[in-house]
Amino acid sequence: MKLDAVVAGVGMTHFGRYLDTGLKALGGEAVTTALADAGLSQGDIEAAWVGNAAAGVVTGQECIRGEVVLRGIGMGKLPVINVENACASGSTALNQAAAMVTAGLYDIVLALGVEKLYHLDKTKTFGAFSGAVDVESLAEIMAALAKNAEEGGAKEASSGAGTKRSMFMDIYAAGARSHMERYGTTVEQFARVSAKNSVHGSLNPRAQFREVLTPDEVLSSPMIAEPLTRPMCSPIGDGAAAVVLMSERKAKELGIIDPVRVVSSVLRSGWDRGHDEPGAATLCSNEAYDEASVGPEDLDVVECHDASAPAEIFAYEDLGLCARGEGGRLIDEGYTALGGRTPVNTSGGLLRKGHPVGATGLAQIVELTEQLQGRSGERQVDGARVALAHNGGGAIGTDVAALCVTILKK
């Protein structure tokens, strides 16, 4: 939808492993930081949208997740809307919050994403991901993944999905093998995505992993599901990210300096499409470009949903940064690295920044807002004025379950 909401403040935690820190503490830190960034107090917030995907499975907190987190820092009375939409939970929270501001129903609102995925019992975490498909068809999905792996000679990927790792790594691995067969994409190109994002992540003090990796080091790492080695798979993580939005009228009244505007946010679900039919990501991005009056050539910086290294290459093509099948060429040419034509995942992406599912979409907005305001330090993209966030999650049939594309302008 075409939007007109101003980002007044942003905040996020360091993403990582917090076995002894709860949702309330993580969420509270992100909210407090965002309010301070906006120069506002808790009482200025009129409504809140809180994204979380897996607390019910991992921590047992159901039904009132957002209310619990916000009351943990003394925020009550305001309407709280809980948003659960797989890995797109955070971006969906922003989408809905910005829509309400654009509609004139509120002047100042909060969008928060918070997640805890680390647990001593790893089956709880893997169980959360296994619930992001049609569970009535789970047995058939697992059998199809195993058959696909076996036929493709992928020994590691033929077993262990959902018990040794997130089943989504097997879904991405299957997509990667198909892309390689169809377009000639190479495993070395996937490795270069991970290596590039490791360089970006090394410059981000809030990233979960900051070690710089070479492509050879990525390739020599333990195999997870062919052709994906460990650094080609996003890690689980704990963390939170928050964004304070306000109306343009209120931003002028309060004298917000260097405003960043949410000009479009398009949320779609997938559908039963043909094999060669463009999917939800292409549909969302094309609609967002139209609403924002920009094209892929106008993007200065992008945060995309690189839950795996191949997923970033798929995103290049879905977002129109290159033609179908040419994503590998972009990574070879340095097009998406810092200093390239359109840097992608300057934060380190999900691969290095981490992927606390419900917080991921809003963490992308934090990164892009800071980029547009020139606050990103060593990873700053010079002169950035237009930014795009691509965030999706879940899988049904041949497409993503939920996909959101958001465009910001300085």
Active site residues: 87, 355
- Phi/psi at 234 (nearest 5 deg)? -70, 140
- Phi/psi at 354 (nearest 5 deg)? 110, 170
Q: Which of 39, 46, 50, 9 is nearest to 244 (CA)?
A: 9
* Helix 122-130 with 167-183: angle, nearest 10 deg: 50
142: CB partners within 8 A, 6+ apart:
161, 162, 167
Question: 149 vs 60, 188, 393, CA distance in Å?
Answer: 34, 20, 22
Four-point Cα dihedral 33, 407, 238, 351, nearest 10: -130
Find out whether 268 and 280 touch, Cβ atoms under 8 Å: yes
Four-point Cα dihedral 124, 129, 134, 138, nearest 10: -70
